[in-house]
């Protein structure tokens, strides 16, 4: 059993009581809500005549079903089902008195982008949401768990979930990330090494020099995909980077309250002599930009490395690898680099934040990884790399706040000049509920988190997960490409491609 970790401390301070079945009744400090998994929960409450117990601890937004094309966001939405779903949410939050960042609000966006950037997620909190990517919030030293609709009903009715404490696995990432290697590549490496079910029964604590060096947006991408590794929650210890990020956010404490909160945040960190159930070490120096070749996120390989032969894999993985390769068309022995691309999708709760778009823009502008601050502005449109002929590029900011910030810096112009469709905030093509979807057997290089068959809207389509930089490089080349190679070439040509 773990002892003295952040997870232990957060668990203890939120435990209300032990339930008769042995689980703990755990208070939820921040409950995030969206339109897809909540209406049924409100229905159950009405059936039982129960009112929302702690409406002030829930914050709602809309993300899964909202159109991202500006012209399609007028009400009523063209998709009748989507309109009904959004109207239901609006009615529910209004009746219960729940804070809501709705369509048209400057703060609307993907729950896991919105809550951190608004300063709602803070160290030491428990966060729950009817969405598996709630693990994201661990980036700020919170413990975030995805829950089902019956558990949403529990949170609304009681402010709590019934939960069982998990084991804590420390994942120590040593070394330093290379140019153009991102947090996304780190988490995909971890999933590749430990498996898509390696984290079942565990919470992941990410640490070590390579993690400490990540900014908060990188940590958000890292923790986001804990669930793809089977871990319901993953977190990073709060530190100066965390406090700097939180300072000045709309819902973060101010002045003296900030100083007091900061002491609390320091105290919630894992003790230096904390006991972990398990420790795994990963060497960041060995990580290169990754792409997936299969139909789950562990089926990944360096963009320039050969796709594995199923026969060379452990016996239990061979059949699944054969089926996956039959679906994606990946050729064993050949690298994924060079594979023709139909669609490039930037955005999502994994990679839909300002720094993600800045990195992608840097690739489009032929800049180096240390020049992401320089993108946009009054960039010469002719100097921006163009999306290759026949490729469709979709850039979907994770929130309206992200969109506004990028537009204020002129970064949207880089994407527009390159030929990307520049959209408004939503989950979009990550799960294709809003009309943004792949058709036929299109191949999409996607800065999202799941490459399951059918995930992006067509059962024949192929999803290749990649970082925003790799996705942007692939857009320019029209084939899966290594951002290190694409930007070097651009350098040699004086920024023109």
Partner 1 sequence: MSDLPERGSAVRRVAGTGLPLPGDDVDTDQIVPARFLKEVTFDEMGEYVFYDERRDEDGELGDHPFDRPAYRGARILVVGENFGCGSSREHAPQALLRWGIRGIVGVSFAEIFADNCSSLGVPTVTADRETVDDLRAFVADDPDAGVEIDVTRERVVYDGREVSVGIDESARAALIDGQWDTTSMMRANLDRVAETAARLPYVDEGDGSGAGTNTSGGDQ
Q: Which of 487, 248, 475, 489 is nearest to 362 (CA)?
A: 487
Order across the sheet with 99-101: list the strands. Answer: 99-101, 58-61, 30-33, 126-129, 143-146
Binding mask 153-192 for partner 1 (x = CB under 8 A): xx--xxxx-x-x----------------------------
Q: Does 269 bind partner 1 (CB under 8 A)?
A: no
Q: CB-based burial of residue 403 (10 Å sphere; 0-12 exposed, 13-18 middle, 19+ buried)?
A: buried
Stretch that binds partner 1, among 50-58, 183-191, 374-382, 404-412 (CB under 8 A): 50-58
* Total residues belonging to the chain: 497
- Candidates 281-289, 340-348, 396-404, 454-462; binding stretch for partner 1 (CB under 8 A): 454-462
What is the rounded CA–CA span in Å between residue 168 and residue 278?
A: 7
The burial of 183, by beta-carbon neighbours within 10 Å (0-12 exposed, 13-18 middle, 19 or more buried), is given as buried
Distance in Å, CB of 276 to partner 1, minimum = 19
- Considering the rule CB under 8 A, would residue 151 count as an interface residue with partner 1? yes
Name residue 479's beta-bridge partners. 340
Question: What number of other Cβ atoms are within 10 A of residue 311's Cβ?
Answer: 10
Contacts of 178 (CB under 8 A, 6+ apart): 285, 287, 288, 484
Beta bridge partners of 392: 343
- From the number of C-beta atoms within 10 Å of its C-beta (0-12, 13-18, 19+), residue 105 rates as middle
Assess 119 for contact with partner 1 (CB under 8 A).
yes
Q: Which of 452, 491, 493, 496 binds partner 1 (CB under 8 A)?
A: 452
Task: For residue 112, give both structure tokens.
Answer: 């896991």
Site string for partner 1, 393-432 (x = CB under 8 A): --------------------------------------xx
Residue 107 and residue 233: Cα distance in Å, rounded?
Answer: 25
Residue 157 CB, shortest distance to partner 1, in Å, is 5
Q: Does 262 participate in binding partner 1 (rule CB under 8 A)? A: no
* Binding to partner 1, residues 75-104 (CB under 8 A): 79, 81-82, 84-85, 88, 96-99
Report the site for partner 1 in 462-491 (rule: CB under 8 A). none
Between 96 and 360, name the residue whose CB sits nearer to partner 1.
Answer: 96
Question: Which CB, 67 or 369, lies closer to partner 1?
Answer: 67
- The reply to whether 257 sits near partner 1 by the rule CB under 8 A is yes
Among 106, 179, 264, 496, binds partner 1 (CB under 8 A): 264
Q: Does 369 bind partner 1 (CB under 8 A)?
A: no
Nearer to partner 1, 164 or 176 (CB): 164
Asked whether position 253 contacts partner 1 by CB under 8 A, the answer is yes
CA proximity to 357, closest of 425, 301, 297: 425
Binding flag, residue 332, partner 1 (CB under 8 A): no
């Amino acid at each position: 059993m773990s002892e003295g970790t952040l997870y232990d401390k957060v668990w203890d301070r939120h435990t209300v009581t032990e339930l008769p079945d042995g689980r703990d009744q755990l208070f939820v400090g921040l409950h995030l809500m969206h339109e897809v998994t909540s209406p049924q929960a409100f229905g159950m409450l009405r059936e039982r005549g129960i009112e929302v117990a702690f409406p002030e601890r829930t914050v709602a937004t809309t993300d899964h079903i909202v159109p991202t094309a500006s012209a399609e966001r007028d009400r009523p939405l063209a998709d009748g089902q989507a309109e009904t779903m959004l109207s239901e949410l609006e009615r529910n939050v209004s009746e219960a008195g729940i804070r809501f960042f709705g369509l048209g609000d400057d703060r609307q966006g993907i729950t896991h982008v919105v809550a951190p950037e608004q300063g709602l997620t803070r160290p030491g909190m428990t966060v729950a949401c009817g969405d598996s990517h709630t693990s994201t919030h661990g980036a700020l030293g919170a413990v975030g768990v995805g829950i089902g609709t019956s558990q949403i009903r529990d949170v609304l009715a009681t402010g709590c979930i019934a939960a069982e404490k998990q084991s804590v696995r420390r994942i120590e990432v040593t070394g330093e990330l290379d140019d153009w290697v991102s947090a996304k590549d780190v988490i995909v490496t971890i999933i590749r090494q430990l498996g898509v079910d390696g984290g079942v029964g565990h919470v992941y604590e990410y640490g070590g020099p390579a993690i400490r060096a990540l900014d908060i947006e990188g940590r958000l991408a890292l923790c986001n995909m804990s669930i793809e590794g089977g871990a319901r929650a993953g977190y990073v210890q709060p530190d100066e980077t965390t406090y700097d990020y939180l300072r000045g956010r709309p819902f973060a404490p101010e002045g003296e309250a900030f100083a007091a909160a900061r002491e609390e945040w320091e105290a919630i960190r894992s003790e230096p002599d904390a006991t972990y159930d398990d420790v795994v070490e990963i060497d960041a120096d060995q990580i290169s930009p990754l792409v997936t070749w299969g139909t789950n996120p562990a089926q990944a390989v360096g963009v320039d490395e050969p796709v594995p032969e199923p026969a060379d894999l452990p016996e239990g993985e061979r059949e699944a690898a054969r089926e996956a390769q039959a679906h994606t068309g990946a050729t064993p022995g050949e690298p994924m680099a060079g594979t023709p691309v139909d669609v490039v999708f930037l955005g999502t709760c994994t990679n839909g934040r300002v720094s993600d778009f800045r990195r992608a823009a840097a690739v489009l502008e032929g800049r180096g990884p240390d020049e992401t601050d320089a993108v946009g502005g009054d960039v010469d449109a002719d100097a921006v790399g163009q999306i290759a002929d026949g490729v469709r590029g979709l850039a979907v900011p994770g929130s309206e706040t992200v969109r506004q910030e990028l537009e204020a810096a002129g970064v949207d112009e880089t994407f527009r000049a390159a030929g990307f469709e520049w959209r408004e905030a939503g989950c979009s093509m990550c799960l294709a509920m809003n009309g943004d979807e792949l058709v036929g057997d299109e191949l999409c290089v996607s800065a999202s988190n799941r490459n399951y068959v059918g995930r992006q809207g067509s059962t024949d389509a192929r999803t290749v997960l990649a970082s925003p930089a790799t996705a942007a490089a692939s857009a320019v080349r029209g084939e899966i490409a290594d951002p290190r190679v694409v930007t070097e070439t651009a350098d040699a040509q004086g920024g023109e491609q």
